[in-house]
């Protein structure tokens, strides 16, 4: 079963309060997630979001996925195009790669922020403490 995942992380200041936003469609179902993450950096928030999105897709039964995000850094690191040099990101990178391997075929696609509006709004609401 194929899942489509949109992810975004927000950070109010860098570092500052973080939040993640995720939208997953899989098997005719659609789920959203907005979660505050405490204090950290924008890149940590982005990684937390992609990990949450992949985990949700897996929980929904995904055996393949297309992952959309506006973080070129995260997507290129997950694709192996960039090295992960920041120690704070290594654990999250490993978690994301493990989830990708468990799902199976995963396609990573960069999209402009305007095409990621729902995940962006969810992540900002979470960072601002407005997530339910």
Confidence of residue 13 (pLDDT cuts 50, 70, 90): confident
Q: What is the per-residue pLDDT for 132?
A: 57
Mean of pLDDT values over 5-30: 96
Residue 89 has pLDDT above 60, yes or no: yes
Residues 6+ positions from 54 with CB-CB distance below 8 Å: 5, 65, 67, 96, 99, 100, 103, 106
**E strand or H helix at 37:** strand 29-40
What percent of the chain clears pLDDT 70, i.e. is strictly above it?
99
Domain boundaries, the chain: 2-36+44-126
pLDDT (mean) for 92-116: 96
pLDDT in the model for residue 1:
95
CATH topology of domain 2-36+44-126: Nucleotidyltransferase; domain 5 (3.30.420)
Output the six-digit token pair for 94. 């490993």
The pLDDT value recorded for residue 44 is 96
What is the average pLDDT across 77-98?
94
Q: Kindly report, residue by residue over 113-132, the tens digit of the pLDDT.
A: 999 999 999 999 999 988 75
For residue 45, pLDDT over 90 is answered with: yes
């Amino acid at each position: 079963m194929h899942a489509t995942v949109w992810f975004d992380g927000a950070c109010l200041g860098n570092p500052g309060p973080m939040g993640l936003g995720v939208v997953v469609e899989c098997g005719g179902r659609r789920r959203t997630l907005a979660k505050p993450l405490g204090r950290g950096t924008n890149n940590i928030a982005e990684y937390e979001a992609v990990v949450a999105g992949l985990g949700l897709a897996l929980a929904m039964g995904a055996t393949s996925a297309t992952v959309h995000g506006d973080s070129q850094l995260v997507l290129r690191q997950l694709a192996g195009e960039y090295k992960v040099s920041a120690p704070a990101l290594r654990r999250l990178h490993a978690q994301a790669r493990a989830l990708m391997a468990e799902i199976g075929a995963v396609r990573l696609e960069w999209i402009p922020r305007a095409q990621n509006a729902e995940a962006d709004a969810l992540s900002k609401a979470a960072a601002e403490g407005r997530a339910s």
